[in-house]
Amino acid sequence: MARPRILVVGAGFAGVECVRRLERRLQPGEAEISLVTPFSYQLYLPLLPQVASGVLTPQSVAVSLRRSARHRTRIIPGGAIGVDPKAKICVIRKITGETLDQPYDYIVLAPGSVTRTFDIPGLVEHARGMKTLAEAAYIRDHVISQLDLADASEDEDERASRLRFVVVGGGYAGTETAACLQRITQHAVKKYPRLDPRQIKWHLIDIAPKLMPELGDKLGTAALEILRKRGIEVSLGVSIAEAGADKVTFTDGRVLPCRTLIWTAGVAASPLVGTLDAETERGRLLVTPEMTVPGLDGVFALGDAAAVPDLAKGEGAFCPPTAQHAMRQGPKLADNIVASLRGESLRPYVHKDLGLVVDLGGRDAVSKPLGIELRGLPAQAVARGYHWSALRTNVAKTRVLTNWMLNAIAGDDFVRTGFQAQKPATLKDFEYTDAYLTPDQVRAHTASLTVRG
Protein backbone atom coordinates (compact mmCIF):
# COMPACT_ATOMS: atom_id res chain seq x y z
CA MET A 1 0.00 0.00 0.00
CA ALA A 2 1.34 3.42 -0.99
CA ARG A 3 2.31 5.75 1.80
CA PRO A 4 0.21 8.93 2.26
CA ARG A 5 1.83 11.97 0.62
CA ILE A 6 2.02 15.18 2.66
CA LEU A 7 2.95 18.29 0.70
CA VAL A 8 3.90 21.46 2.59
CA VAL A 9 3.93 24.66 0.54
CA GLY A 10 6.18 27.40 1.92
CA ALA A 11 9.27 27.46 4.14
CA GLY A 12 8.34 30.36 6.36
CA PHE A 13 7.72 30.11 10.10
CA ALA A 14 4.49 28.14 9.68
CA GLY A 15 5.71 25.69 7.04
CA VAL A 16 9.05 24.91 8.68
CA GLU A 17 7.55 24.40 12.14
CA CYS A 18 4.95 22.08 10.61
CA VAL A 19 7.62 20.00 8.86
CA ARG A 20 9.76 19.80 12.00
CA ARG A 21 6.84 18.46 14.04
CA LEU A 22 5.81 16.02 11.30
CA GLU A 23 9.33 14.59 11.23
CA ARG A 24 9.25 14.10 14.99
CA ARG A 25 5.74 12.66 15.21
CA LEU A 26 5.58 10.36 12.19
CA GLN A 27 7.14 6.93 12.25
CA PRO A 28 9.62 6.05 9.46
CA GLY A 29 7.57 4.89 6.50
CA GLU A 30 4.28 6.22 7.88
CA ALA A 31 4.08 9.03 5.29
CA GLU A 32 6.09 10.88 2.63
CA ILE A 33 6.84 14.54 3.40
CA SER A 34 7.69 17.09 0.71
CA LEU A 35 8.39 20.79 1.12
CA VAL A 36 8.00 23.28 -1.74
CA THR A 37 10.18 26.38 -1.51
CA PRO A 38 12.22 28.41 -4.02
CA PHE A 39 15.03 28.85 -1.47
CA SER A 40 16.83 26.31 0.72
CA TYR A 41 16.47 28.46 3.82
CA GLN A 42 13.90 29.79 6.23
CA LEU A 43 14.04 33.59 6.32
CA TYR A 44 13.85 35.13 9.78
CA LEU A 45 11.82 38.14 8.67
CA PRO A 46 11.81 40.21 11.90
CA LEU A 47 15.56 40.82 11.57
CA LEU A 48 15.49 42.08 7.96
CA PRO A 49 15.84 45.75 9.04
CA GLN A 50 19.13 44.83 10.70
CA VAL A 51 20.30 43.23 7.45
CA ALA A 52 19.35 46.38 5.56
CA SER A 53 21.33 48.48 8.02
CA GLY A 54 24.34 46.14 7.92
CA VAL A 55 24.20 45.09 11.58
CA LEU A 56 23.61 41.49 10.45
CA THR A 57 24.89 39.71 7.37
CA PRO A 58 22.28 38.16 5.03
CA GLN A 59 23.44 34.62 5.91
CA SER A 60 22.66 35.28 9.57
CA VAL A 61 18.90 35.43 8.99
CA ALA A 62 18.79 32.69 6.33
CA VAL A 63 18.38 29.54 8.43
CA SER A 64 19.45 26.49 6.42
CA LEU A 65 16.66 23.97 5.85
CA ARG A 66 19.25 21.23 5.38
CA ARG A 67 20.55 21.87 8.90
CA SER A 68 17.18 22.23 10.62
CA ALA A 69 15.45 19.23 9.00
CA ARG A 70 16.08 15.57 9.82
CA HIS A 71 16.70 14.64 6.17
CA ARG A 72 13.37 12.80 5.91
CA THR A 73 11.75 15.64 3.98
CA ARG A 74 12.11 15.99 0.23
CA ILE A 75 12.72 19.64 -0.67
CA ILE A 76 11.34 20.70 -4.06
CA PRO A 77 13.14 23.88 -5.26
CA GLY A 78 10.36 25.97 -6.71
CA GLY A 79 7.11 27.75 -5.98
CA ALA A 80 3.52 26.51 -6.05
CA ILE A 81 1.56 28.44 -8.69
CA GLY A 82 -1.76 26.59 -8.50
CA VAL A 83 -3.70 23.94 -6.56
CA ASP A 84 -6.52 21.72 -7.83
CA PRO A 85 -8.17 20.33 -4.65
CA LYS A 86 -10.47 18.04 -6.63
CA ALA A 87 -7.65 16.35 -8.54
CA LYS A 88 -5.35 16.68 -5.51
CA ILE A 89 -2.54 18.10 -7.60
CA CYS A 90 -0.29 21.06 -6.86
CA VAL A 91 1.25 22.78 -9.88
CA ILE A 92 4.84 23.81 -9.11
CA ARG A 93 7.17 25.99 -11.14
CA LYS A 94 10.70 24.86 -10.36
CA ILE A 95 13.58 27.36 -10.19
CA THR A 96 14.58 26.15 -13.67
CA GLY A 97 11.22 27.33 -15.06
CA GLU A 98 9.97 23.77 -15.60
CA THR A 99 6.48 22.81 -14.41
CA LEU A 100 5.99 19.93 -11.98
CA ASP A 101 2.58 18.41 -11.25
CA GLN A 102 2.82 17.12 -7.70
CA PRO A 103 0.07 14.81 -6.41
CA TYR A 104 -0.75 14.82 -2.71
CA ASP A 105 -3.05 13.26 -0.12
CA TYR A 106 -2.67 16.11 2.37
CA ILE A 107 -1.53 19.60 1.47
CA VAL A 108 -0.43 22.28 3.93
CA LEU A 109 -0.74 25.77 2.46
CA ALA A 110 1.74 28.10 4.15
CA PRO A 111 2.83 30.29 1.21
CA GLY A 112 3.00 33.40 3.39
CA SER A 113 2.29 36.87 2.11
CA VAL A 114 3.45 39.47 -0.38
CA THR A 115 3.78 43.23 -0.11
CA ARG A 116 0.36 44.87 -0.32
CA THR A 117 0.21 47.66 -2.86
CA PHE A 118 -2.49 50.08 -3.97
CA ASP A 119 -3.36 51.77 -7.24
CA ILE A 120 -0.99 54.68 -6.63
CA PRO A 121 0.65 56.19 -9.72
CA GLY A 122 4.33 55.23 -9.89
CA LEU A 123 4.32 53.10 -6.73
CA VAL A 124 5.13 49.72 -8.28
CA GLU A 125 7.82 51.23 -10.50
CA HIS A 126 9.62 53.36 -7.92
CA ALA A 127 9.04 51.84 -4.45
CA ARG A 128 11.27 49.24 -2.81
CA GLY A 129 9.90 46.58 -0.47
CA MET A 130 11.29 44.93 2.67
CA LYS A 131 9.80 41.45 2.38
CA THR A 132 12.68 39.37 1.05
CA LEU A 133 16.38 38.89 1.78
CA ALA A 134 17.27 40.23 -1.67
CA GLU A 135 15.25 43.40 -1.03
CA ALA A 136 17.00 44.04 2.29
CA ALA A 137 20.43 43.58 0.69
CA TYR A 138 19.43 45.78 -2.23
CA ILE A 139 18.11 48.58 -0.01
CA ARG A 140 21.36 48.64 1.94
CA ASP A 141 23.35 49.09 -1.28
CA HIS A 142 20.88 51.66 -2.57
CA VAL A 143 20.94 53.83 0.57
CA ILE A 144 24.76 53.86 0.73
CA SER A 145 24.91 54.65 -3.00
CA GLN A 146 22.73 57.72 -2.45
CA LEU A 147 25.32 59.07 0.00
CA ASP A 148 28.12 58.34 -2.49
CA LEU A 149 26.29 60.05 -5.34
CA ALA A 150 25.23 63.03 -3.23
CA ASP A 151 28.80 63.55 -2.04
CA ALA A 152 30.04 63.55 -5.66
CA SER A 153 27.28 65.81 -7.03
CA GLU A 154 27.62 69.54 -7.65
CA ASP A 155 23.86 69.92 -8.20
CA GLU A 156 22.07 71.00 -5.02
CA ASP A 157 18.67 69.75 -6.23
CA GLU A 158 20.09 66.32 -7.01
CA ARG A 159 21.85 66.24 -3.66
CA ALA A 160 18.62 67.12 -1.82
CA SER A 161 16.68 64.32 -3.55
CA ARG A 162 19.37 61.74 -2.88
CA LEU A 163 19.59 62.61 0.81
CA ARG A 164 15.85 62.36 1.47
CA PHE A 165 14.43 58.96 2.38
CA VAL A 166 10.74 58.11 2.81
CA VAL A 167 9.41 54.97 4.54
CA VAL A 168 5.69 54.26 4.22
CA GLY A 169 4.14 52.15 6.98
CA GLY A 170 4.11 52.85 10.71
CA GLY A 171 3.83 49.25 11.78
CA TYR A 172 6.56 46.95 13.08
CA ALA A 173 8.47 46.60 9.79
CA GLY A 174 8.32 50.24 8.74
CA THR A 175 9.24 51.66 12.14
CA GLU A 176 12.25 49.36 12.55
CA THR A 177 13.36 49.92 8.97
CA ALA A 178 13.29 53.70 9.30
CA ALA A 179 15.02 53.61 12.70
CA CYS A 180 17.81 51.21 11.68
CA LEU A 181 18.57 52.83 8.34
CA GLN A 182 18.48 56.38 9.72
CA ARG A 183 21.00 55.36 12.34
CA ILE A 184 23.45 54.00 9.78
CA THR A 185 23.18 57.08 7.53
CA GLN A 186 23.91 59.37 10.47
CA HIS A 187 27.01 57.33 11.26
CA ALA A 188 28.08 57.00 7.63
CA VAL A 189 27.76 60.70 6.78
CA LYS A 190 30.69 61.47 9.09
CA LYS A 191 32.91 59.78 6.50
CA TYR A 192 31.75 62.12 3.73
CA PRO A 193 33.58 65.46 3.97
CA ARG A 194 31.24 67.27 1.56
CA LEU A 195 28.01 66.26 3.32
CA ASP A 196 26.38 67.83 6.37
CA PRO A 197 24.42 65.44 8.66
CA ARG A 198 21.60 68.02 8.72
CA GLN A 199 21.09 67.46 4.99
CA ILE A 200 19.90 63.89 5.53
CA LYS A 201 16.12 63.76 5.91
CA TRP A 202 14.20 60.67 6.95
CA HIS A 203 10.38 60.55 6.85
CA LEU A 204 8.12 57.84 8.27
CA ILE A 205 4.51 58.17 7.21
CA ASP A 206 1.37 56.15 7.81
CA ILE A 207 -2.29 56.64 7.01
CA ALA A 208 -3.21 55.43 10.53
CA PRO A 209 -3.63 57.98 13.34
CA LYS A 210 -1.16 56.19 15.65
CA LEU A 211 2.28 54.62 15.39
CA MET A 212 2.22 50.87 16.12
CA PRO A 213 -1.16 50.85 17.91
CA GLU A 214 -0.47 47.25 19.03
CA LEU A 215 1.98 48.66 21.60
CA GLY A 216 -0.65 50.77 23.32
CA ASP A 217 -0.68 54.54 23.73
CA LYS A 218 2.16 54.76 26.24
CA LEU A 219 4.78 52.72 24.39
CA GLY A 220 3.59 53.93 21.00
CA THR A 221 4.17 57.50 22.16
CA ALA A 222 7.59 56.51 23.55
CA ALA A 223 8.61 55.04 20.18
CA LEU A 224 7.37 58.18 18.43
CA GLU A 225 9.43 60.37 20.75
CA ILE A 226 12.57 58.27 20.13
CA LEU A 227 12.22 58.60 16.37
CA ARG A 228 11.56 62.33 16.45
CA LYS A 229 14.43 62.92 18.86
CA ARG A 230 16.71 61.26 16.32
CA GLY A 231 15.50 63.63 13.64
CA ILE A 232 13.06 61.33 11.82
CA GLU A 233 9.98 63.24 10.73
CA VAL A 234 6.88 61.17 11.48
CA SER A 235 3.63 62.08 9.72
CA LEU A 236 0.44 60.21 10.63
CA GLY A 237 -2.80 60.29 8.69
CA VAL A 238 -0.73 60.66 5.51
CA SER A 239 0.18 58.36 2.62
CA ILE A 240 1.60 58.57 -0.90
CA ALA A 241 -0.48 60.12 -3.68
CA GLU A 242 2.14 59.67 -6.41
CA ALA A 243 5.67 58.32 -6.68
CA GLY A 244 8.26 59.47 -9.18
CA ALA A 245 11.89 58.76 -9.95
CA ASP A 246 13.11 61.81 -8.02
CA LYS A 247 10.12 63.03 -6.01
CA VAL A 248 7.11 61.85 -4.02
CA THR A 249 3.75 63.50 -3.49
CA PHE A 250 1.99 63.01 -0.16
CA THR A 251 -1.78 62.91 0.18
CA ASP A 252 -1.62 66.16 2.19
CA GLY A 253 -0.25 67.93 -0.88
CA ARG A 254 3.44 68.04 0.00
CA VAL A 255 5.84 67.34 -2.86
CA LEU A 256 9.30 66.28 -1.67
CA PRO A 257 12.48 65.59 -3.64
CA CYS A 258 13.23 61.91 -2.97
CA ARG A 259 14.95 59.00 -4.72
CA THR A 260 14.36 56.39 -2.01
CA LEU A 261 10.81 55.25 -1.28
CA ILE A 262 10.55 52.18 0.95
CA TRP A 263 7.07 50.63 1.06
CA THR A 264 6.11 48.58 4.13
CA ALA A 265 2.41 49.45 4.30
CA GLY A 266 1.09 46.01 5.08
CA VAL A 267 0.95 42.60 3.45
CA ALA A 268 -1.55 40.57 1.44
CA ALA A 269 -1.93 36.80 1.33
CA SER A 270 0.05 35.00 -1.34
CA PRO A 271 -1.70 34.98 -4.75
CA LEU A 272 -1.68 31.17 -4.46
CA VAL A 273 -4.81 31.56 -2.31
CA GLY A 274 -6.74 32.78 -5.34
CA THR A 275 -6.04 29.61 -7.34
CA LEU A 276 -8.19 27.42 -5.09
CA ASP A 277 -11.49 29.21 -5.69
CA ALA A 278 -12.26 28.88 -1.96
CA GLU A 279 -13.89 31.23 0.55
CA THR A 280 -11.63 33.98 1.88
CA GLU A 281 -11.62 36.57 4.65
CA ARG A 282 -9.92 39.80 3.55
CA GLY A 283 -7.89 37.86 1.02
CA ARG A 284 -6.86 35.04 3.38
CA LEU A 285 -8.21 31.49 3.15
CA LEU A 286 -11.03 31.03 5.63
CA VAL A 287 -10.26 27.96 7.75
CA THR A 288 -11.71 26.18 10.77
CA PRO A 289 -10.08 26.40 14.22
CA GLU A 290 -8.39 23.09 13.31
CA MET A 291 -6.94 24.87 10.22
CA THR A 292 -8.78 22.76 7.66
CA VAL A 293 -10.27 24.45 4.58
CA PRO A 294 -14.03 23.72 4.61
CA GLY A 295 -15.23 21.62 1.70
CA LEU A 296 -11.75 20.74 0.44
CA ASP A 297 -10.58 17.25 1.36
CA GLY A 298 -7.06 17.05 2.74
CA VAL A 299 -6.41 20.80 2.47
CA PHE A 300 -5.00 22.69 5.47
CA ALA A 301 -3.88 26.33 5.63
CA LEU A 302 -2.13 28.49 8.22
CA GLY A 303 0.13 31.49 8.69
CA ASP A 304 -0.22 34.73 6.74
CA ALA A 305 -2.27 33.08 4.00
CA ALA A 306 -5.02 31.81 6.32
CA ALA A 307 -7.70 33.46 8.43
CA VAL A 308 -7.40 31.26 11.52
CA PRO A 309 -10.06 31.96 14.18
CA ASP A 310 -8.50 33.51 17.28
CA LEU A 311 -10.24 31.51 20.00
CA ALA A 312 -8.24 33.28 22.72
CA LYS A 313 -9.87 36.60 21.77
CA GLY A 314 -13.20 35.20 20.61
CA GLU A 315 -15.96 37.42 19.20
CA GLY A 316 -15.21 36.42 15.61
CA ALA A 317 -11.57 37.57 15.73
CA PHE A 318 -8.87 36.08 13.50
CA CYS A 319 -5.20 35.59 14.34
CA PRO A 320 -3.06 38.43 12.99
CA PRO A 321 -0.44 37.51 10.37
CA THR A 322 2.52 37.50 12.76
CA ALA A 323 5.54 35.24 13.22
CA GLN A 324 4.40 34.48 16.77
CA HIS A 325 1.16 32.86 15.61
CA ALA A 326 2.73 31.15 12.58
CA MET A 327 5.39 29.47 14.72
CA ARG A 328 2.70 27.99 16.97
CA GLN A 329 0.17 27.12 14.28
CA GLY A 330 2.74 24.95 12.45
CA PRO A 331 3.16 22.29 15.18
CA LYS A 332 -0.58 22.26 15.94
CA LEU A 333 -1.43 21.68 12.29
CA ALA A 334 1.17 18.90 12.07
CA ASP A 335 -0.45 17.25 15.08
CA ASN A 336 -3.81 17.44 13.31
CA ILE A 337 -2.43 15.81 10.16
CA VAL A 338 -0.96 12.99 12.26
CA ALA A 339 -4.32 12.65 14.03
CA SER A 340 -6.10 12.50 10.67
CA LEU A 341 -3.71 9.80 9.45
CA ARG A 342 -4.33 7.75 12.59
CA GLY A 343 -8.09 8.25 12.73
CA GLU A 344 -7.96 10.49 15.81
CA SER A 345 -9.78 13.73 16.60
CA LEU A 346 -8.39 17.05 15.41
CA ARG A 347 -7.80 19.83 17.94
CA PRO A 348 -8.32 23.58 17.53
CA TYR A 349 -5.54 26.15 17.60
CA VAL A 350 -5.57 28.39 20.68
CA HIS A 351 -2.82 30.84 21.61
CA LYS A 352 -2.80 34.08 23.57
CA ASP A 353 -0.59 36.79 22.10
CA LEU A 354 2.59 37.20 24.18
CA GLY A 355 3.28 40.80 23.18
CA LEU A 356 5.47 42.75 20.78
CA VAL A 357 9.17 43.66 20.71
CA VAL A 358 10.55 46.54 18.65
CA ASP A 359 14.30 47.03 18.16
CA LEU A 360 15.05 50.62 17.08
CA GLY A 361 18.81 50.14 16.83
CA GLY A 362 21.60 51.01 19.22
CA ARG A 363 20.23 51.17 22.76
CA ASP A 364 16.75 52.19 21.66
CA ALA A 365 13.87 49.74 21.90
CA VAL A 366 10.32 49.40 23.19
CA SER A 367 8.78 46.07 24.16
CA LYS A 368 5.63 44.72 25.72
CA PRO A 369 6.25 41.10 26.73
CA LEU A 370 3.32 39.54 28.60
CA GLY A 371 1.79 43.01 29.00
CA ILE A 372 4.85 44.47 30.75
CA GLU A 373 5.89 47.80 29.22
CA LEU A 374 9.65 48.24 28.74
CA ARG A 375 11.89 50.74 26.99
CA GLY A 376 15.61 51.36 26.53
CA LEU A 377 18.17 48.67 27.38
CA PRO A 378 15.73 46.30 29.17
CA ALA A 379 13.47 46.39 26.10
CA GLN A 380 16.50 45.88 23.86
CA ALA A 381 17.58 42.83 25.87
CA VAL A 382 14.09 41.32 25.65
CA ALA A 383 13.80 42.03 21.91
CA ARG A 384 17.16 40.54 21.00
CA GLY A 385 16.76 37.66 23.42
CA TYR A 386 13.42 36.75 21.87
CA HIS A 387 14.77 36.87 18.31
CA TRP A 388 17.91 34.94 19.21
CA SER A 389 15.97 32.15 20.92
CA ALA A 390 13.56 31.88 17.97
CA LEU A 391 16.35 31.02 15.51
CA ARG A 392 16.18 27.30 14.83
CA THR A 393 19.84 26.29 14.42
CA ASN A 394 22.91 26.81 16.56
CA VAL A 395 24.78 28.04 13.49
CA ALA A 396 22.23 30.82 12.96
CA LYS A 397 22.30 31.73 16.64
CA THR A 398 26.10 31.90 16.62
CA ARG A 399 26.17 34.09 13.49
CA VAL A 400 23.60 36.53 14.84
CA LEU A 401 25.22 36.80 18.27
CA THR A 402 28.66 37.29 16.69
CA ASN A 403 27.34 40.00 14.37
CA TRP A 404 25.70 41.85 17.27
CA MET A 405 28.91 41.70 19.30
CA LEU A 406 31.05 42.83 16.36
CA ASN A 407 28.73 45.72 15.64
CA ALA A 408 28.73 46.78 19.30
CA ILE A 409 32.55 46.74 19.42
CA ALA A 410 33.59 47.90 15.95
CA GLY A 411 30.57 49.98 14.94
CA ASP A 412 28.84 50.12 11.56
CA ASP A 413 30.47 49.57 8.21
CA PHE A 414 29.36 51.26 4.99
CA VAL A 415 30.44 48.85 2.28
CA ARG A 416 28.40 48.95 -0.92
CA THR A 417 28.61 45.57 -2.68
CA GLY A 418 27.15 46.70 -6.00
CA PHE A 419 24.46 44.02 -6.41
CA GLN A 420 22.05 44.97 -9.23
CA ALA A 421 23.73 48.36 -9.41
CA GLN A 422 22.73 48.92 -13.03
CA LYS A 423 19.06 48.00 -12.67
CA PRO A 424 16.42 49.75 -10.55
CA ALA A 425 14.72 47.03 -8.53
CA THR A 426 10.93 47.11 -8.29
CA LEU A 427 8.55 45.18 -6.05
CA LYS A 428 7.74 42.72 -8.85
CA ASP A 429 11.42 41.94 -9.40
CA PHE A 430 11.64 40.29 -5.99
CA GLU A 431 8.20 38.82 -5.23
CA TYR A 432 7.15 37.29 -8.58
CA THR A 433 3.46 38.03 -8.03
CA ASP A 434 2.57 37.56 -11.71
CA ALA A 435 3.57 33.85 -11.82
CA TYR A 436 0.29 32.34 -10.55
CA LEU A 437 -2.47 30.58 -12.47
CA THR A 438 -6.18 31.34 -12.26
CA PRO A 439 -8.56 28.64 -10.93
CA ASP A 440 -9.74 27.94 -14.51
CA GLN A 441 -6.15 27.60 -15.72
CA VAL A 442 -5.37 25.16 -12.91
CA ARG A 443 -8.41 23.02 -13.72
CA ALA A 444 -7.62 23.07 -17.44
CA HIS A 445 -4.04 22.07 -16.71
CA THR A 446 -4.95 19.12 -14.48
CA ALA A 447 -7.66 18.04 -16.94
CA SER A 448 -5.05 17.90 -19.68
CA LEU A 449 -2.99 15.56 -17.49
CA THR A 450 -5.90 13.13 -17.37
CA VAL A 451 -6.29 13.26 -21.15
CA ARG A 452 -2.56 12.71 -21.72
CA GLY A 453 -2.56 9.89 -19.16
Q: Of 324, 352, 380, which marks where a domain is finished?
A: 352
Q: Looking at the domain assignment, is residue 433 inside a domain?
A: no
More confident call, 155 vs 427: 155
Same domain flag for 238 and 285: no
**pLDDT tens across 354-371, in order?**
888 999 988 899 998 888
H/E segment holding residue 284: strand 284-286
Q: Looking at the domain assignment, is residue 251 inside a domain?
A: yes
Burial of 380 (0-12, 13-18, 19+ CB in 10 A): buried
Question: Mean per-residue pLDDT for 159-178?
Answer: 96
Question: Mean per-residue pLDDT for 193-216?
Answer: 92
- Could you tell me which residues are beta bridge partners of residue 233? 203
Q: Looking at the domain assignment, is residue 289 inside a domain?
A: yes
Report the pLDDT value the prediction gives residue 68, as an integer from 0 to 100. 65
**Farthest CA pair distance, the chain:** 75
Same domain flag for 77 and 45: yes
Same domain flag for 148 and 282: no
Q: Looking at the domain assignment, is residue 439 inside a domain?
A: no
* CATH number for position 189: 3.50.50.100
User: Are the beta carbons of 53 and 181 closer than 8 angstroms?
Assistant: yes
For helices 133-152 and 172-188, the axis angle rounded to 10 degrees is 40
With bands split at pLDDT 50, 70 and 90, how would you rate the model's confidence at 419?
low
Same domain flag for 134 and 251: yes
Same domain flag for 273 and 160: no
Question: Mean per-residue pLDDT for 285-295?
Answer: 97
Number of domains in the chain: 2
Q: Looking at the domain assignment, is residue 438 inside a domain?
A: no
323: closest CA among 79, 110, 129, 54? 110
Q: Is 96 helix (H, G, I), strand (E, B) or coil?
A: coil
Q: Looking at the domain assignment, is residue 447 inside a domain?
A: no
More confident call, 2 vs 293: 293
Same domain flag for 234 and 93: no
Report the pLDDT value the prediction gives residue 413, as an integer from 0 to 100. 84
Same domain flag for 344 and 367: no
Same domain flag for 236 and 369: yes
For helices 13-25 and 323-341, the axis angle rounded to 10 degrees is 30
Which letter does DSSP use for residue 435 in this model? -
Q: Looking at the domain assignment, is residue 449 inside a domain?
A: no
Query: Is residue 431 pLDDT above 80, yes or no?
Result: no
Same domain flag for 259 and 278: no
Count H helices, E strands: the chain? 13, 25
Same domain flag for 338 and 422: no
Same domain flag for 287 and 243: no
* CATH number for position 61: 3.50.50.60
Question: Mean per-residue pLDDT for 376-393?
Answer: 92
Report the pLDDT value the prediction gives residue 352, as an integer from 0 to 100. 85
Q: Is 262 helix (H, G, I), strand (E, B) or coil?
A: strand
Q: Of 352, 384, 414, which marks where a domain is finished?
A: 352
Question: Mean per-residue pLDDT for 263-284?
Answer: 93
Report the pLDDT value the prediction gives residue 186, as an integer from 0 to 100. 93
Report the pLDDT value the prediction gives residue 131, as an integer from 0 to 100. 92
Same domain flag for 27 and 98: yes
Nearest-angstrom CA–CA distance, 297 and 6: 13
Nearest-angstrom CA–CA distance, 287 and 315: 16
359: closest CA among 157, 183, 105? 183
Q: Of 352, 381, 416, which marks where a domain is finished?
A: 352
Average pLDDT score, the chain: 92
Q: Looking at the domain assignment, is residue 451 inside a domain?
A: no
Domain span holding position 246: 123-265+355-427
